[in-house]
């Protein structure tokens, strides 16, 4: 079945550092790929998405490129801020699965001033 794998463990880094969170997927067909973010005390919200191979999603300085050849959708930001501290979830939506989202386990990101 469809699945998403995120790198293990929380990520702690200093302000202005470069952030990468790895995400790989397994899916039938051509899924759409998403990054959702959950800020402390808030609900889950869409950060960015890409719906076909080689598309790049971007928002708030974050970027992710849909790589079909490596089945990956890694999230990057060049210079993080304390306000980026949150839990980040990678997800996919398969056209064969009633468009339900399959999520990775999430990564807690802590940015230290």
Partner 1 sequence: GAGVSQSPSNKVTEKGKDVELRCDPISGHTALYWYRQRLGQGLEFLIYFQGNSAPDKSGLPSDRFSAERTGESVSTLTIQRTQQEDSAVYLCASSLASAANTDTQYFGPGTRLTVL
Other C-beta atoms lying within 10 Å of the C-beta of residue 80? 22
Q: Is 57 in the site for partner 1 (CB under 8 A)?
A: no
Q: Which is nearer to partner 1, 106 or 111 (CB)?
A: 106
The region of 11-19, 45-53, 59-67, 68-76 touching partner 1 under the rule CB under 8 A is: 45-53
Q: Is 86 in the site for partner 1 (CB under 8 A)?
A: no
Other C-beta atoms lying within 10 Å of the C-beta of residue 75? 23
Could you tell me if 44 and 35 are in contact, meaning their C-beta atoms sit under 8 angstroms apart?
A: no
Other C-beta atoms lying within 10 Å of the C-beta of residue 21? 22
Binding site for partner 1 (CB under 8 A): 4, 31-32, 34, 36, 42-46, 49, 51, 89, 91, 93-95, 97-106
């Amino acid at each position: 079945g469809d699945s998403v794998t995120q790198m293990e463990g929380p990520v702690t880094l200093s302000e202005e550092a470069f952030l990468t969170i790895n995400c790989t997927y397994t899916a039938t067909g051509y899924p759409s790929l998403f990054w959702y973010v959950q800020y402390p005390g808030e609900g889950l919200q869409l950060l960015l998405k890409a719906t076909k191979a080689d598309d790049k999603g971007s928002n708030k300085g974050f970027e992710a490129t849909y790589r079909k050849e490596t089945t990956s959708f890694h999230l990057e930001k060049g210079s993080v801020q304390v306000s980026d501290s949150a839990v980040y979830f990678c997800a996919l939506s398969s056209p064969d699965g009633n468009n339900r989202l399959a999520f990775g386990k999430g990564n807690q990101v802590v940015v230290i001033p």
